[in-house]
Amino acid sequence: MGQNLVYKILGEHLVEGELSVGKEIGIRIDQTLTQDATGTMAFLQFEAIGIDRVRTRRSVSYVDHNTLQTSFENPDDHRYLQSVAARYGVYFSRPGNGICHQVHLERFAEPGLTLLGSDSHTPTGGGMGMIAIGAGGLDVAVAMGGGAYYLNVPKVMKVNLTGRLDPWVTAKDVILEMLRRLTVKGGVGWIVEYGGPGVATLTVPERATVTNMGAELGVTTSVFPADEQTRHYLIAQGRGDVWRELVPDPDAEYDQVIDIDLGELEPLIAQPSMPDRVVPVRALEGLKVDQVCIGSCTNSSYMDLKRTAGILKGKTVHPRVSMTLSPGSKQVFEMIAREGDLADIIAAGARILESACGPCIGMGQAPATGAISLRTFNRNFAGRSGNRDDKVYLCSPEVAAVAAITGELTDPRKFGDHPPVEFPERFIINDDMIITPPEEGSEVEIIRGPNIKPVPTKDPLPDAFEGELLLKVGDNITTDHIMPAGAKILPLRSNIPAISDHVFVSVDETFPSRARAAGGGFVVGGVNYGQGSSREHAALAPMYLGVKAVIVKNFARIHYANLINFGIVPLELSDPADYDRLNQGDRLKVSGLLDGLERGEVELENLTSGVKFKLVARLTTRQVKILKAGGLLPFTRGR
């Protein structure tokens, strides 16, 4: 039996376990990335582990999320990150250098390596032929210290691409079609491997768009082969020496195969407020548009912005529309400036933002009340834009740019000829915004501002506990629901006591005060609980408020791991119908935890109703040990 690409890379990095679906394995991590919204906590955790130097082949710290400096918190975090990177041997990408995933693809990604990042869109690296996985910051801190990353072996789905994209149809439409077919929870427990003759027609930046937004499927990651397109991109980036061909064996086997004929796709759009509510653009033609935002780690590449400029050239943004554009990196920004495209974009009336995440994570540019906002981003969860009642649609840069001119959603195929764009033979290469760490960092002073607080930890797990059911929520609860982002809250990421005041406030503003008054308790949810961002604060801050266990129908992958990492017991309802037997305000008790977690079954008693039923604990032996220790940090220090 031949090997697929996924198993080839995992096999090369296997340090513990066997490659059998559902079994836990540990893999060696070659590279890590952090960004400033999650990186401050990740480095505080790395310091707490007590290792003197990072032990990966390369670790990079990016500043791209918290770049809005309205007070001292964000600049203080940036100064901390720069100093701690120098101290421990980490490359530092300065504010303004660009979005972590775009810059990492340009300057650091290599075929066949493993990348672990404290951002859920780390799978962008799969466009380069990497196994690139998003994880909580504590998992990344452990990997920086040389520890293995543990995961259950996913099933592998091959997406067989044939044909070629028509003009005005883009890589964004490929991943939107995947979301239309599979939904936001359809990829849980899978890795997607793209193959087939159509792969050769997609450039690396196009592939990265697909793998980036693959996070919205719930998959562990997505990956493309490393082929001539990969070699061409690396040569253009001045890094041709790291290329190696990496393809599946001809007789490779997969757990599932689905087919997509690229030539049959059409421009697609995701409706509010979930990335899988996908319909053809033509089905919504005429929808009046108020805001257009082009950028994000999904669609801010050189090619994306060149095409945007070609559409806007000689035209003016519609009077009703506010348009913004965020270049993905300094490299992209400089190239479109030197080649005249930036002038065409400015002349058309677009507002130019810095090379950062910006409005994608609610850092400015919130839409007006009742406004229709078209964005080239990867998520449109309700309220993520900064407006709780937002109406955000997700689409390609081409669809967005045409709508900016016409003032309404328009099938771009009616707009005229697709602007021709040639892939560059050579990108502008200037890494002066990336600071290389010194060979010896022991004398470097780490600078900490007053907003940077110590990492809170939890005591070892008791055999039983009881408490109030503090909150009952439904299906597809995102990490944005649990721990919102945005300009007001993101600056508190290194201050858990302060940020805990915002847990679940978009669902119930009283949650933080009620949790404190009750001394903690339980949260109950439905299907796909914790989908979305890798932000470990969605587990760390509830732990600080005393949340002891989360009981749901099933969990999203990263959040499930984060709950374990911070000592919150993740439990699933043995019978989903038991969800209706739990009500907010009930007094609950779980007992026999220490043995029950090892057996995989725990008894829950609803002290209010007198009903008892079983809960499932889907934990490995290692995860049980972590929970018993009170979380991954005390577990790691104890070892």
Active site residue 173: no
What CA–CA distance (Å, rounded) separates 452 from 153?
37
Residue with tokens 């906590």: 41
Q: Write down the catalytic residue from 535, 537, 557, 559.
A: 535
User: How do residues 76-122 score in pLDDT, each as one tens digit?
Assistant: 999 999 999 999 999 999 999 999 999 999 999 999 999 999 999 99
Active site residue 384: no
Return the closest-CA partner of residue 21 out of 224, 191, 219: 191
Q: Write down the catalytic residue from 30, 36, 119, 390.
A: 119
Q: Write down the catalytic residue from 13, 36, 59, 65.
A: 65
pLDDT band at 59 (very low <50, low <70, confident <90, very high): very high
pLDDT at 490 over 90: no
Q: Write down the catalytic residue from 30, 36, 64, 173.
A: 64
Q: What integer pLDDT is reported at residue 4 of this predicted model?
A: 98
Whether the Cβ atoms of residue 28 and residue 15 lie closer than 8 Å to each other: yes
Peptide bond into 494 cis (omega under 30): no
268-413 CATH: 3.30.499.10
Instruction: Specify the domain boundaries for CATH 3.20.19.10 within the chain.
Output: 465-638
Q: Using a pLDDT cut of 90, give the percent of the chain over it.
A: 95
Active site residue 535: yes
Q: Write down the catalytic residue from 296, 373, 506, 533.
A: 533
CA neighbours closer than 13 Å in the CB half-sphere of residue 570:
26
What CA–CA distance (Å, rounded) separates 74 from 13?
36
Q: What integer pLDDT is reported at residue 593 of this predicted model?
A: 95
User: How do residues 540-590 score in pLDDT, each as one tens digit?
Assistant: 999 999 999 999 999 999 999 999 999 999 999 999 999 999 999 999 999
Instruction: Specify the domain boundaries for CATH 3.30.499.10 within the chain.
Output: 5-264, 268-413
User: How do residues 264-288 score in pLDDT, each as one tens digit?
Assistant: 999 999 999 999 999 999 999 999 9
What CA–CA distance (Å, rounded) separates 532 from 553?
17
Assign a CATH topology to domain 5-264: Aconitase; domain 3 (3.30.499)
Active site residue 30: no
Q: Write down the catalytic residue from 87, 101, 375, 379.
A: 379
User: How do residues 316-350 score in pLDDT, each as one tens digit?
Assistant: 999 999 999 999 999 999 999 999 999 999 999 99
User: How do residues 518-535 score in pLDDT, each as one tens digit?
Assistant: 999 999 999 999 998 888
- CA-based radius of gyration for the chain: 24
DSSP string, 471-492: EE--SS-BHHHHS--STTTGGG
pLDDT at 638 over 90: no
Whether the Cβ atoms of residue 274 and residue 378 lie closer than 8 Å to each other: no
Active site residue 119: yes
Assign a CATH topology to domain 465-638: Aconitase; domain 4 (3.20.19)
Question: Between 171-182 and 204-213, two packed helices, what is the crossing angle to 10 degrees?
Answer: 30
Active site residue 301: no
